[in-house]
Amino acid sequence: MRHRTRYTYDDVVTDSYGHAVLLPRDVPGQRVLSAQVDVDPVAVDRSEDIDHFGNRVTYLQVDVPHTRLTVEADLDVEVEPASIDPEALGAPWEAARPRALDGVPAWEVVELALESPSIGHGGAVLDYARPSFPPGRALGEAARDLMHRVHDDFAYEPGTTSVTSTIDDVLAARAGVCQDFAQLMIACLRSQGLAARYVSGYLATDPPPGRERVVGADATHAWVAVWTPAGEWLALDPTNDQPVGERYVTIAWGREYADVSPLKGVIVSEASSSELEVQVDVLPA
């Protein structure tokens, strides 16, 4: 698996400081065999750390004057379907509201039931979510119903929204991309008092029938995980209207996109414009 990000600037950059979330996590159902991040020009300083959510973060500084910067992650990950306790999925959804339960204290997940900077959950969000959550409905059934509705009610239209779009923008446009659908579904879950996290990673795609697979045609992806009364996480993909399975690779999770954006940073330059090119290739074994 390879993720290449390339920035091209119209003037020389003398210093570049980057924050990369590109290394995958070891989680139930996923084992990291190898992972590395390379930078061109070579970083004069780099370090790795674990953030508040347990994600692997790489910090980079490039002080060689350049007009092009390439950051590439090469990953080898083994994935198998994760199992979820069926009794927890069959429990009333109200039972999944964060609280001490079977040794899983609420403090571990309670912040994921609260509003975050880009994900509010009042007003129109509450109204949209309500039909999926009648009293006593099974958690798994309610969450999947919400996933189906987001998929059916919103069109996948790149360019309709941006990374600064709000939940209200998405509701008004009735369109967006995977990031928007994930954040909308999270807002709906949180509006019911449930803990939900934004998950960033990759989805291995299939070429159209009769066509060869194109290298670099895959993309970063986003989906949702909702906390269950058994202390597990049910992962659902509203963009594709399906549960998350063995074709998904988890990189990181947080409250929202801003917590796990693959690459961000600052540059020292008089450049007035830049171009961004991203290529992702996920090759199943």
User: Do 250 and 265 fall into the same domain?
Assistant: no
Q: Residue 122: its pLDDT value, please?
A: 82
pTM of the model: 0.93
User: Do 113 and 236 fall into the same domain?
Assistant: yes
Q: Residue 100: its pLDDT value, please?
A: 54
- Cβ(69)–Cβ(39) under 8 Å? yes
CA distance 131 to 64: 56
- Which range marks the domain in which residue 203 is found? 86-256
CA distance 234 to 97: 14
Q: Which CATH number goes with the domain that contains 16? A: 2.60.40.2250
Q: Which CATH number goes with the domain that contains 131? A: 3.10.620.30
User: Do 125 and 184 fall into the same domain?
Assistant: yes
Q: Give the model confidence (pLDDT) of 170-221 as tens digits.
A: 999 999 999 999 999 999 999 999 999 999 999 987 766 766 655 555 678 9
Q: Residue 66: its pLDDT value, please?
A: 97
User: Do 27 and 90 fall into the same domain?
Assistant: no
User: Do 152 and 205 fall into the same domain?
Assistant: yes
CA distance 58 to 77: 18
Token reading at 111: 């912040």
Residue with tokens 């020292």: 268
User: Do 60 and 196 fall into the same domain?
Assistant: no
Q: Residue 111: its pLDDT value, please?
A: 92
User: Do 95 and 75 fall into the same domain?
Assistant: no
Q: Give the model confidence (pLDDT) of 66-97 as tens digits.
A: 999 999 999 999 999 778 999 999 999 999 99
CA distance 250 to 262: 12
User: Do 56 and 137 fall into the same domain?
Assistant: no
Q: Residue 98: its pLDDT value, please?
A: 86
ω into 41 cis (within 30 of 0):
yes
